[in-house]
Amino acid sequence: MAQKKGQPPPLPPSLPNGWPSPSPDDLLERPLRIIQINRPQTYSFITNFIRTSKYTLYTFVPKFLAITFHPRKKMANVYFFIIACMQMIPLITNTHGIPTVFLPLSFVVFVDGIFAALEDLARHAADDRANASLTDSIENGKSKQAEWSTVRVGDFLKIKNREVIPADIVILAVKEKTQIPEGRAYVETKSLDGETNLKMRRALKCTYLRIKEDADTLNIGEGKIEMEHPNKLIDSFKGTFSLVGQEKEVIDPNNVLLRGCTLRNVDWVIGIVVNTGQDTKIMMSNTESPVKLSSLEQRINVEIKRVVMYLGAVCFTGAMGSFVWKHNKMLDAWYLRWTEADAEDPTQNLHDYNATGEFLLSAIVQFFYYFLLMANFVPVSLYVSMSTVKYFQAKFIEDDLEIYHAETDTPTKVRTMALNEELGQISHVFSDKTGTLTCNIMDFRKCTVNGVSYGKGITEIGRAAFMLQGEDVPDDVLAGEMLSREHAEMHKQPHVNFYDQSIRFDLVGAKTEEQAEALQDFFTVLALCHSVIPEHDEETGEVHLSASSPDDEALVCGAKFFGFDFIDRKQGNATLKLSTGEEKTYQILEMIEFNSTRKRMSVVVKKDDVIELYSKGADTVMIPRLKGNQEKLLGSTCEHMTEYAKEGLRTLMICKRTLDKDWFEKWHKDFKAASANLTEIEKRLMGKSNKIDLLAEDLEKDLRLLGASAIEDKLQDGVPACIADLANAGIKIWVLTGDKVETAINIAVACRLLHPEEYMEQIIITAEDDDEFDKNKLKDKLIENIREFENDVKEAGSPDLIKPRALVIDGPALIVGMDAEVQPYLLRFTQCCKAVVGCRVSPDQKRQMVNMVKTKVRGVKTLAIGDGANDVAMIQAAHVGIGISGQEGMQAVNASDYAIAQFKYLRRLLLVHGRWNYRRMSRLVCYIFYKNIVMAIVQFWYAFQTGFSGQKFYFEGGIQLFNIAYTCFPIMLLGVFDKDVDEKIILKYPQLYNNGIRDAFFNSGVFFNWILAGTFESVIISIFPLYALDNTSKPGAQGGDGLLPSLWMFGATSFSLVVLVTNFKLLMNQYTFPWFSIVVWLLSVGSWFLSAWGMTSVLIMDFDGYGVYVELMQNQSYWLCLLLVCVFLGGRDFFFKGYQRAFRPQLHHVLQEIDKFNLDSLDNIQIPLPPQPHMYMKENLADLPEHVEESENLELLQIVRRATRTASDMFHIPKGLGFAFDASDMQTVMEERNIVLGRSAVKHNKSRMSAIIFGKSTSPTNASFVDRPGTMIGKKSFGEGIAFWDDDDELSGEEEDDEEETSAGKESTIMGSLGMAGLFVSKLMGAVDDDKSDDKSDDKIDSKREATKSEGSSNRESVGSGRWSMGF
């Protein structure tokens, strides 16, 4: 744009070219962001206007359509868009060139657009509120209100108490509540980092004494700020502040207030804006959560491709039928030629007629014509139905009072409703501990001072420790716990649960003066060494503590409980009020704060000209800093700390040091200089050696040990029961925490995650105190434990009969375990464990562990749950992320897919809502495809009567309304309300959840059983009306008038049957029938009859079908045809379901009857855990050293030993020389084999097994003639041959629910015969030999098979239903 005359030239942008990824040359050209103070800016900056919405008024349509028709996300929409385009091609159109599919497609897209718009409108509203918020802006020394969106870089802002910061600002001045200014302000950063504690910030030293009011912003003069370019590092800020005629002052993170934080504890703050809008750190940190799709939605895209392939096969068949028909009939049907022919002599010029070319071209055209005719194979209403159902499912989850926390008024929040059904398929739960399993509300429980332990009672975790050792809790300990609770209730001191009268006497010198002095020093350190901020309520006079961590708050409250009350912090002083009423003031000279690297905190205080250092921290960092000659005290203190850790208490070592005044002054001068040095600050941020940390090390040495504190983080209510139920459901639970190994183990026992040694073997791998620990040592230990596990399985015969394993591993060992060479073995061993506990793990290690299981193991669905900002990476990495609205703010919640208030709510969220939603969505998807295929393929069968012409015989209006009106609403109600089992039964028998882990409700087997059922029913629906209506119309037939029914009458009858049969099918697969569901069902079915009568009664609406339905409704044969077909097809499902309930009941069938008939006598029924899902490593693992040959032979020995076991109620010996076991035992054998050999061994096994197992089974086995080794084998029912039961087949899905009951041939059983025992074993051993040489010919194996058939034919034995048998 040309510059206007007299207008100043535009300013260059403040950011380098190519931002945010500038080249080195561009960055060198503009290395710093320069902001002018009290003078015009030399660079342009973006405004403070923010937008977090996805769309604007102008971009909504193009962006939404790009997402809606994305082939990887909404494949069905792309499919129908192509169909609509094809409908406009004159050569193949069956709608007169009108794209009729656009009508339902537009409706679907419109509804999706409404959901997207409603979701985005909420973001727009939030953006508008933020941009229109008001703040005080200072211009020319005067304050005025301005909207946030008008704030510019370089503006002076005045932020008042409890106001939200509108932009990133550097603090220039603070109006404090104290008389002497110190330039201190406090902010709440909950919206930024998720932490609820207050953090202290400081004004620049060169300005905070010069600015007392608004006008003083002009008096500071001109200057500039040189700083780093905008970034998302919220704990980092590098820059300098310089005024004309003054030295530069370093700006560090403590001088900056970030947008989104809340100002607290001061009257106002005046600052200068340095970052606005999208350049602020909070906006740059707001990375979008990863887009997550449920596994069901991902599988839908796969099944759509298969359905389209099925459609292509049908179209190809129709095209070939047309080719053949025309080839045979074209001479007679000369009028169908594309080239002109003489009507009087069709054979004229026949030699010039290119029949083959025309037939082929006609077949190609016919293929696409059929494609359009049956385009409804893929349902157009699929996505809108799923979205609608998930929306209401989410509402029911949010409105569930059972997972609503009344104390904090926190309901469960659904943030990603697309994952509703994924909640029903979770196989692994990864949980944080602090704030997730525990309350994150700390109580001061015990302490050790000068070698003396104080504090009675025991925690829940301490009880678990006694249980772990097989001991009872002593009576005096239990009595002490009761007194402790009574004492805490009596005194009502927050964050203190302590009882031990001896400490009161020792404080006044009852034991010794030395002990009294040590106790006084101990509690003085607790009262002063912290970052707690006292907030004074001017109305009530009360003091509220705001701590940087709940541990600090508990320690300060503990000091108050013993008479050392921290009451104020101002003017560089801290004031304590003693129990005597005396107030003591300590001057705070320096404070070195706690961080995850230092793991300690120190404060230097001055009292009566004595300078002392007070320190507290983890024992691992404090012990090396102690002065000598304290071995005895250190030994007793460490012993007490170990005892506290066994109770799950969090311990800190408390120390002090008296400092020489001259030495400290020199040290302090050096420390301040280093803290103001930008180079040293940058080194420290990058984790490099720096003077700041070196000087801190110099200060924190030669410490005198005072003792240690122990605080309790209580378990949340219901956590043990929740974890026990999740484990019974088949879910593996991993707890990842930063605690010590002993603490983590005891907490896991208290949560029922781990069990005592006599019930569970704990494998503990730690590297923290092992200097020789390396990857080879870890690898050897893992291999040793894997072998031990396999040997135990070998001896017991089943993994369920051995002592379960649990892995406890610490962070340093996990770093080694993530090595590419070791990781496969670590992963393999974790799959052998019932539980995994990670100790001393970092946030990134949590993410790595989740990713390891998620990406390396097939069949898993991971869930991560946490409550703090350090859990965000783990939450976002998992398939489903759960955030807990706890004490650590909302960062985890904001990054999560679902938010709950308590860990115990996870039980109901998964077992009840998750299972219901997974089953409902599975049924919904299968049914929608089923009904569409029934409707579409009927026209293909009719083509056999019309010379494969592709003539459609449905009303076009009926086709378009089929998915919108006739079948849409009943299935959506099922998806929202249907319950196969009541919630109280699900919670009582959590084993029901295991079906979801195994994908039993939606897999390829279940899906295509529905497709095959629809294909079979479509044949009946197509053929039956042709003969029923035709015969009743002939002369002589009762009511016959001699007029043949038209094709439109046939079509209307078939379409009526499609509507009725598909809706009756839904009823047969529904368990609950609320009144409104029945009403909607009747309205949906009735709408067809009403609309059919209306469409055919008005000529303009349907020319072809005008008057057809009115006439058809008067035909008695029409109604009889509807009745007979519905009874026949409905009866088939009815009787098969009855057969299944009577002879092959599933677990939910049994539980339904228990609930229905109130069988209280069965309350103690023991429901076995269903087979575990087949979860195996995606990558082939290297075989364990010197273990492969033994494993290969072990497979066969194990099968024989397993089969010949008789000491079990699950087995019976049939009459004669034989043995039997049922299908569940076969599943167990397969699982054992996979544990022993691993999946990789199976893939390399090329030989066949030649043994034959005979017997009878009423359960489906997917019998097939395959060359897959290592799977159980048998003979087909009353026939000859070898059949394998392949563990990769979708057996679990076919056995689980009623979807699979629709396909034909499922009642087939496997029978066979077997010869002598020697032959059986020799054939098996021969199979092993074949593994070593792959050159065995198939002919040789077949000859062995035939020999086995002839030798075993005389030994055939019939065995009872549901049993597999082997005969010798």
Q: What is the pLDDT of residue 1328?
A: 34
Please tell me the predicted confidence (pLDDT) of residue 1167.
52
Q: What pLDDT shows up at residue 1036?
A: 46
The pLDDT of residue 1340: 40
**Averaged pLDDT, 638-655:** 88
Which of 365-374, 863-872, 948-957 shows the lowest mean pLDDT across its residues? 948-957
Query: Phi/psi at 1284 (nearest 5 deg)?
Result: -110, 140
Query: pLDDT class for 896, splitting at 50, 70, 90?
Result: confident
CB 526 within 8 A of CB 535: no
How is residue 963 annotated by DSSP?
I
Instruction: For the chain, give the number of residues.
Output: 1368
pLDDT higher than threshold 60 for residue 1193: no
- Angle between helix 1047-1068 and helix 1004-1032 axes, rounded to 10 deg: 140
- pLDDT tens track for 852-880: 888 888 888 999 998 876 787 888 889 99
Mean predicted confidence (pLDDT) in 1240-1251: 34
**Catalytic one among 193, 214, 279, 432?**
432
Per DSSP, the three-state class of 989 is: coil
> From its phi and psi, is residue 1186 left (phi > 0), alpha (psi between -120 and 50) or beta?
left
pLDDT of residue 92: 80
Could you report the per-residue pLDDT of 1329-1365, keeping only the tens digit for each?
333 333 333 344 344 334 434 443 333 333 333 333 3
Query: Are 633 and 618 spatial neighbours (Cβ–Cβ below 8 Å)?
Result: no
Distance (Å, rounded) from C-alpha 100 to C-alpha 841? 59
Most confident region among 18-22, 945-949, 1086-1090, 1091-1095 by mean pLDDT: 1086-1090
The total of other beta-carbon atoms located within 10 Å of residue 1's CB is 4
Mean pLDDT, residues 330-358: 57
Burial string for 7-29 (b: 16+ CB within 10 Å, else e) reads: eeeeeeebbbeeeeebeeeebee
How much of the chain, in percent, has pLDDT values that exceed 90?
A: 21
Angle, CA of 441, 442 and 445, to the nearest 5°: 145
Q: Is 6 exposed, middle or buried (0-12, 13-18, 19+ CB in 10 A)?
A: exposed
Residue 195 confidence (pLDDT): 59
Q: Tokens for 1341?
A: 């194996």
SS3 1317: helix
Q: What is the pLDDT of residue 1105?
A: 61
Tokens 């893992």, residue located: 782
How confident is the model over 277-336, as pLDDT tens digits? 989 888 887 666 667 788 888 888 888 889 989 989 998 988 888 888 877 776 666 666
User: How far is 1351 from 488, CA to CA, in rounded Å?
Assistant: 82
For the stretch 584-607, pLDDT in tens is 999 999 888 887 678 889 999 998
Lowest mean pLDDT among 347-351, 786-790, 1215-1219, 1288-1292: 1215-1219
Confidence of residue 1104 (pLDDT cuts 50, 70, 90): low
Residue with tokens 């001259």: 662
819 catalytic residue (yes or no): no
Segments of 498-563 assigned E as strands: 533-536, 543-546
The mean of the pLDDT values for the chain is 76
Range with the lowest mean pLDDT among 778-782, 971-975, 1046-1050?
1046-1050
Q: What is the pLDDT of residue 633?
A: 93
Distance (Å, whole) CA 1211 – CA 1301: 28
pLDDT at 518 over 90: yes
Say yes or no to pLDDT of 1198 above 80: no
Catalogue the long-range contacts made by 117-122 (C-beta closer than 8 Å, 24 or more residues apart).
117/55, 117/60, 120/53, 120/54, 120/55, 120/60
Cα gap 883→1045, rounded to integer Å:
64
DSSP 424: G
The residue among 754, 731, 525 whose CA lies nearest residue 648 is: 754
User: What CA dihedral angle connects 854, 857, 860 and 862, to 10 degrees?
Assistant: -20
Q: Which residue has the higher pLDDT, 1176 or 750?
A: 750
> Running DSSP on this structure, what letter comes out for residue 7?
P
**Cα–Cα distance measured from residue 1338 to residue 1246, given in angstroms and rounded to the nearest whole number:** 11
Dump pLDDT digits (tens) for 1264-1287: 333 333 333 333 333 333 333 333
Give residue 1186's pLDDT: 43
In whole angstroms, what is the distance from residue 989 CA to residue 1115 CA? 53
**CA separation for the pair 555, 1198 (Å, rounded):** 59
pLDDT-derived band at 1031, boundaries 50, 70, 90: low
pLDDT digits (tens, 9 = 90+) for 1047-1070: 788 888 889 999 999 999 998 888
Residue with tokens 């802006």, as numbered in its chain: 137
Rounded to an integer, the average pLDDT of 520-525 is 94
Higher pLDDT, 909 or 812: 909
| 472-487 per-position pLDDT tens digit | 777 777 777 777 767 6
pLDDT of residue 605: 94
Q: What pLDDT sits at residue 111?
A: 81
pLDDT of res. 146: 93
Q: How far apart are CA 1221 and CA 470, in angstroms?
A: 38
Parallel, antiparallel or unpaired: strands 833-839 and 862-866: unpaired
Q: pLDDT-derived band of residue 4, with 50, 70 and 90 as boundaries?
A: low
Q: Has residue 169 got a pLDDT over 90?
A: yes
What tens digit of pLDDT does each residue of 103-157 get? 778 887 888 888 778 777 877 887 888 899 999 999 888 889 999 999 999 999 9
**Token pair belonging to 522:** 């101990």
Distance CA 246, CA 554 (A): 45
List CB contacts of 1200: < 8 A, sequence separation 6 or more.
1321, 1324
Tens-digit pLDDT profile for residues 209-248: 888 888 888 888 899 999 999 988 777 888 999 998 888 8
Q: Given a cut of 80, is residue 369 above it in pLDDT? A: yes
| CA max distance for the chain | 133
H or E segment to which residue 994 belongs: helix 994-997
Residue with the two structure tokens 């167990």: 1228
Structure confidence at residue 75 (pLDDT) = 75
Q: What is the pLDDT of residue 525?
A: 94
AA letter at 581 = G
Q: Where are the beta strands (DSSP E) in 646-744?
A: 650-659, 704-715, 732-736
Residue-wise pLDDT tens digits, 678-691: 778 777 766 788 88
Which residue, chain included where needed, has tokens 């809606």? 68
Closest CA to 719 of 900, 896, 895: 900
pLDDT in tens, 692-721: 889 999 999 999 999 999 988 777 888 888
Would you place residue 158 in the very low, low, confident or very high pLDDT band (cuts 50, 70, 90)?
very high
* Position 680, amino acid: E
What distance in Å separates the CA atoms of residue 834 and residue 804, rounded to the nearest whole number?
A: 6
Q: Are 1274 and 1255 in contact (CB under 8 A)?
A: yes
Q: What is the pLDDT of residue 5?
A: 58
Residue 915: per-residue pLDDT: 93
Which neighbouring-strand residues pair with 911?
none
Question: Facing residues of 22 across strands?
Answer: none
- The Cα 473–Cα 467 span in angstroms is 8
| pLDDT at position 1046 over 90 | no
Question: For the whole prediction, is pTM greater than 0.85?
Answer: no
Dump pLDDT digits (tens) for 1119-1129: 888 899 999 99
Q: Are 450 and 875 in contact (CB under 8 A)?
A: no
Long-range contacts of 1153-1156 (CB under 8 A, 24+ apart): 1154/985, 1155/981, 1155/982, 1155/984, 1155/985
d(CA 1299, CA 1014): 11
41-55, 235-249, 941-955, 1222-1236: which has the minimum mean pLDDT? 1222-1236
Report residue 845's pLDDT band, with 50, 70 and 90 as the boundaries: confident
Q: What distance in Å separates the CA atoms of residue 1101 and residue 729, rounded to the nearest whole number?
A: 56
Within 10 angstroms of residue 627's Cβ, the number of other Cβ atoms is 12
Instruction: Encode pLDDT of 402-450 as tens digits.
Output: 999 888 888 998 888 889 999 999 999 999 877 788 776 788 989 999 9
**Are 1274 and 1253 within 8 A, CB to CB?**
yes
User: What is the mean pLDDT of the segment spanning 1155-1170?
Assistant: 59
Cα separation, 716 vs 461, in Å, equals 12
- 644's CB contacts (< 8 A; 6+ apart) are 446, 448, 651, 708, 710
DSSP one-letter code for 402: G
Residue 171 bridge partners (DSSP): 271
Question: Quick one: pLDDT band at residue 954, thresholds 50, 70, 90?
Answer: confident
Token couple for 560: 């108050």
Q: What per-residue string of b and e applies to 1116-1134 under the rule 16 or more CB within 10 Å gives b? A: ebbeebbeebbeebbebbe
Burial of 157 (0-12, 13-18, 19+ CB in 10 A): buried
Residue whose C-alpha is closest to residue 447's, from 711, 635, 682: 711
Confidence of residue 541 (pLDDT cuts 50, 70, 90): low
Q: Residues with Cβ < 8 Å from 172, sequence gap 6 or more?
A: 156, 203, 204, 207, 208, 211, 217, 220, 270, 271, 272
| Cis check: omega of the bond before 20, within 30 degrees of 0 | yes
Query: Which residue would you say has higher pLDDT here, 1093 or 1223?
Result: 1093
Cα separations in angstroms, 1075 against 188, 779, 1080, 1155, 1208 = 52, 62, 9, 21, 49
pLDDT for residue 274 is more than 90: yes
Mean of pLDDT values over 636-654:
88
pLDDT in tens, 785-808: 999 888 888 888 877 788 888 999
d(CA 250, CA 627): 36
The SS3 of residue 186 is strand
- pLDDT value for 908: 94
Percent of the chain with pLDDT over 70: 76
